Structure 1
Amino acid sequence: CTTATKEGIFKREIVPVELKSRKGSTFFEADENFIPDASIEKMGQLKPAFKKDGVVTAANASSINDGASAVVVMSLDKAKAMGIKPLMKLVNICQAGVDPMVMGLGPAAAIPKCLSQVGMKFGDIDYWEVNEAFAAQWLGVGRMLKEDHGMSLTPDNCNFNGSGIALGHPVGSTGLRIVVSLYYELERQGKTTGGASLCVGTGPAMASLWTRDV
């Protein structure tokens, strides 16, 4: 996330917000959640957040943030009538559910379902954005996809520029934020198809499939 910010990768995703005061205007135009000088050594010194002998700390859990996301959705016919070139087309969207006790694993149920409904395979998708509620949760989703469905979700095909842990998790905005990030990363890589998914408290999960071939 730090590298992506330094390289300006997020600039096209972020709409600057002007903050006016007596001293003049300041533009809020960069995410403030990530810690540029974070290190494995510093993170290893943090205390567990929930259990005395637990593994979840402030360093490997998403933070609660403010944020907003927006897109314009319309039919292809309407876009053509208005002379607009769509950025992406929604191929499929679905929801699935898991036991509330393991709610973070929801994407491992939603992703295969979403692919199956339109006759696509995991390998048909060039890139994924799967929200990190917790590091252990994201790893669990990857393990469940691999063991149950033979699908390989790894840092090589998912969340290149950070996710909920580094960028934050503004509930109500994250679902769309990852789709916006998905588009720009597909464009940056020159790739076509993408998928997005996230877990939801109490067990539901959503997954969606997208293409830049419109």
Structure 2
Amino acid sequence: MPRVADHDARHGQITDAVQRLIVRDGLTAVTVARTAAEAGVSVGLVQHYFTAKDEMLLATFTCVNRRFTARVDELVNRGEAEGRTIAVMLRQALAELLPLDDTRRAEHLVRLAFADQAAHNTRLATVQKETLADIRSRVAQAIHNGKVCGEVTGTVDAADQALRIVACTDGLALHTHIDPDGTPEPAILAALDDQIGRVFTGTCRRARRCQEA
């Protein structure tokens, strides 16, 4: 067990260093030597875990997605315990993709760096495509659940609307990154609410029962 724990800690130490380099100096700053210096470890140790820059970036991208998923799962669990509507929980989950604070801005920069590399790397492009498909699948499932509870009309195409909602979220994230002063947080969240509200037009039956009780 100590060896596994040490492996995970070292791996995280290196991927955290990669993220800091991307945020501070850009993707071109990510080299084995600079990553080792940033992480406070030897070049040999970095090379023990990663043999190429693309591998370091893939591991960092995977770590960012894991953290995002953990936050979303926590929001959903809390939302279900507090009786929030699916639309509210979906909005909170998607807002985790928007660069509205230091943590999410750093993660967004990693995603942009990964997208840049994936444009010229089939392996990274495959991971990027799978990651996007997973996010759209989660949104489609939320829409399906909305149909069950009455928040979404039964005729709505969940996959089609999930595509639109995720595309809108990605666009809002990019606009926030490019022009943060011209895209204030209230306006960004209002735009996201508007897109979700086009799909979640009904009232949750569970919420109605709570109001009547």
TM-score (norm 2): 0.27
- The structure showing larger relative contact order (alpha-carbon pairs under 8 Å, at least 6 residues apart) is 1
More helix by share: 2
Larger radius of gyration: 2
TM-score (norm 1): 0.27
More strand by share: 1
